[in-house]
Amino acid sequence: DDLLATGGTILSVAKLIESLGGEIVAIEFLIELESLKGREKLSNYHVNSLIKYDR
């Protein structure tokens, strides 16, 4: 995905993929807004972001 903010959208997508039998190996983002703590919702997954913005 392009942006990790609160994590709600990607968490829903990950759960949908898993419900269909898929496996989430990693979740990749271009930008992460650290102050919104979206990564905390994704603690069961390996998450990477290229740019971390904390303001």
Residue 7 has pLDDT above 90, yes or no: yes
Ramachandran category for residue 21: left, alpha or beta (phi over 0 → left; psi -120 to 50 → alpha): left
Tell me the whole-structure pTM to 2 decimals: 0.88
Residue 32 has pLDDT above 90, yes or no: yes
